[in-house]
Structure 1
Amino acid sequence: MTEVTVWITVVVFFLLLFALRVNPFRAAGAFVQELFTNRKFLLHFLALIGILFMNKVELILENRMVQKNDFTSDIYRLEGDFVAAVQHLFRSDWLTIASSFFYVVVFTAIMVASLGIYTYQKNHKLFYAVCYAMMFNYMIAIPFYLFFPVNEVWYYASTKVEFLMTSVFPTFEQEYRPLSGLNNCFPSLHTSLSVTMAVIAWKSNSVFWRRFTIGSAAFIIFSIFYLGIHWLTDMCGGLLLGLFAGTMALRLSEGRSLFQNYVVSFLKNREVGKNG
């Protein structure tokens, strides 16, 4: 993973540079300072690390489960050869490189950079929103991975769909697979986390960051099909999860809950009705 780590670091550097218009090392310094001086900030960051560790625990639990269901055939009967059609229609060398790069490098870099951007901007609400949103994503997705396993498209339909990732990252299966199970497809976390980052970034005061996260989310969603990894059903589930996680995280970071919003909205509508 050394090569991938280097690329992620480089992309994070430039994302911070373009989004903040300052030396990225200043953003890194601000992040470290907050960790040592702001207890709430530190606790949120530790909770984020903890929920990411749960992904590794899920893989261990999955390997120890005696009886495993497989819903891949049901998904295939539902949507057929959609992914194969997308891959064959757009197949090109440059698109394979770009899609692989966004799927592996840019996807991770956006999440890392978002923490640095919101920290430097002193926008703690958005920083906390990112932490909450990632927790929502993993807490909701992990039970599906345990009890609703769906294999990746290329693995199930190998005669029709090719796994293009290995043509760009030859050691992907050896280095990346231990972080993500082969049957951890529904919902697509690449879709949900990309959409989540875009939803939160929409509240940012950086025009570049808003546009980049939205554009990246769209391209990553395309990439999950083009590379032969996810089903259309995975994307739909990931899209709904990403919108939910991002919206709820923003509300929580502002000190509100979903229930409170419904109550306030109900009372306002009732008041308007009385006045009308």
Structure 2
Amino acid sequence: MYPLQSMTHATVYIVISIYVLLYLSLRKNPFFVAGAFVQDFFTKRKFFFHFAAVMAILFFNKVELWIESKMHYTPDFTAKIHGLEGDFVAGFQHLFYNNTVTMVTSIFYVIVFPCLMIVSILIYTYQKKYRLFYALCYTVIINYVIAIPFYLFFPVQEVWAFHPNVKLLILEVFPKFEAEYRPLSGLDNCFPSLHTSISVSMALLASRSGNRLWKWFSLLSCVVIIFSIFYLGIHWLTDMCGGVLLGIFAARLGLSISEERPFFSRILLPQRRLQKQEVSE
């Protein structure tokens, strides 16, 4: 029996993981934590619009696949990427191949990755760290706004689909991955790696949270997810490098906007609102 038999099966694991991570990170009943989020969602207009913006950009990421299918612009930069880095991913995959490693990396790629964003939102909301919540919203939006044009105009195929000596190892754990997970991400939506950039961004934001367990778990997850994108045969080294740079840039910019540093405060908010921000939040 395969550990992940379907996306429904994976979703159940994601929900369980969120529950466990919330309890361990906050030592509170996760339902109370979720209740705090629902309350803020319906009572704080600024909170609502920021969260809605994140949902909109995540939805547009799926629309991007439809736009791409209608485009007549069909270049393929995969051969150029392979020419730059050669057989790095193939050697990496063969060096570390092990059934247990395949299981762990698949779980982090499919299950832990979405938990990083969801649990971060719930933790920051429950702890009333709204600036960090807003920073997360800006960060996610920046990651996708920058990545999507690359997916449209600089398509690069996943390694396993191009390199004859690389396998999509996640199929050994999640055999329906191509049928059920693939609609969320195009086969040529490779550079930059959003699994890398979002993981890096969430780890950087978690380092500001003051929550020791969440900080170290986010950092560990980031490292394992970056390892997994190579090991599972999905991303090129170039994708990872682009993802790391994007993740750092997005997190720093998101924090700058949420903390209303001088440059952004002059653009985004009138001065009189800045003075009242902390009171209103």
Specify the TM-score bucket, using the shorter chain as the normaliser: over 0.9
Give 1:140's match in structure 2, choosing from 129, 139, 146: 146
Per the alignment, residue 201 of structure 1 pairs with 206
Q: Is the Cα contact below 8 Å between 1:17 and 1:24 reproduced in 2?
A: yes
Residue identity matched to 2:249: F
Per the alignment, residue 172 of structure 1 pairs with 177
Give 1:87's match in structure 2, choosing from 82, 93, 97: 93
Cα offset, 1:21, TM superposition: 1.1
DSSP 3-state at the match of 2:186: coil
How far apart are the structure 1 equivalents of 2:95 and 2:252?
Answer: 34
Paired residues, number = 260
How far apart are the structure 1 equivalents of 2:172 and 2:262?
Answer: 45
**Within the alignment, does 1:244 sit opposite 2:249 as a pair?**
yes
Instruction: State the 4+ residue runs in structure 1 displaced beyond 3 angstroms.
Output: 257-261
DSSP 3-state at the match of 2:72: coil
Q: Is the Cα contact below 8 Å between 1:248 and 1:257 reproduced in 2?
A: no
Residue identity matched to 2:166: V
Cα offset, 1:256, TM superposition: 2.1
How far apart are the structure 2 equivalents of 1:178 and 1:88?
Answer: 28
Cα offset, 1:115, TM superposition: 0.6
Give 1:99's match in structure 2, choosing from 78, 102, 105: 105
Residue identity matched to 1:245: A
Q: Is the Cα contact below 8 Å between 2:256 and 2:264 reproduced in 1?
A: no
How far apart are the structure 2 equivalents of 1:39 and 1:199?
Answer: 26
Residue identity matched to 1:253: S
**Within the alignment, does 1:187 sit opposite 2:192 as a pair?**
yes
Deviation digits for residues 190-238 of structure 1 (CA, Å, limit 9, x no counterpart):
0000000001111011100110101110110000000000000000000
Q: Is the Cα contact below 8 Å between 1:83 and 1:161 reproduced in 2?
A: yes
1:223-234 equivalence runs, <5 A: 223-234=228-239
How far apart are the structure 2 equivalents of 1:67 and 1:193?
Answer: 28
Give 2:225's match in structure 1, choosing from 216, 220, 224: 220
How far apart are the structure 2 equivalents of 1:81 and 1:66?
Answer: 31
Q: Is the Cα contact below 8 Å between 2:257 and 2:264 reproduced in 1?
A: no
Cα offset, 1:258, TM superposition: 5.9
Give 1:48's match in structure 2, choosing from 44, 51, 54: 54
1:19-168 equivalence runs, <5 A: 19-157=25-163, 159-168=164-173
Normalising by structure 1, report the TM-score. Answer: 0.92
Cα offset, 1:259, TM superposition: 6.6
Cα offset, 1:260, TM superposition: 7.5
DSSP 3-state at the match of 1:176: helix
Deviation digits for residues 238-262 of structure 1 (CA, Å, limit 9, x no counterpart):
000000001111111111266789x
Deviation digits for residues 139-164 of structure 1 (CA, Å, limit 9, x no counterpart):
0000000000000000001x200100
Normalising by structure 2, report the TM-score. Answer: 0.91
How far apart are the structure 2 equivalents of 1:257 and 1:5?
Answer: 42
Give 1:17's match in structure 2, choosing from 11, 23, 28: 23
Per the alignment, residue 273 of structure 2 pairs with none
Residue identity matched to 1:167: E
How far apart are the structure 1 equivalents of 2:228 and 2:262?
Answer: 34
How far apart are the structure 2 equivalents of 1:202 and 1:170?
Answer: 35
**Residue ranges of structure 2 left out of the alignment (5+ in a row):** 1-6, 267-281
Residue identity matched to 1:212: F
**Residue ranges of structure 1 left out of the alignment (5+ in a row):** 262-276
DSSP 3-state at the match of 2:74: coil
Q: Is the Cα contact below 8 Å between 2:77 and 2:154 reproduced in 1?
A: yes
Residue identity matched to 1:107: F
How far apart are the structure 2 equivalents of 1:219 and 1:260?
Answer: 36
Q: Is the Cα contact below 8 Å between 1:248 and 1:258 reproduced in 2?
A: no
Percentage identity across aligned positions?
58
How far apart are the structure 1 equivalents of 2:263 and 2:120?
Answer: 24
Q: Is the Cα contact below 8 Å between 1:97 and 1:168 reproduced in 2?
A: yes
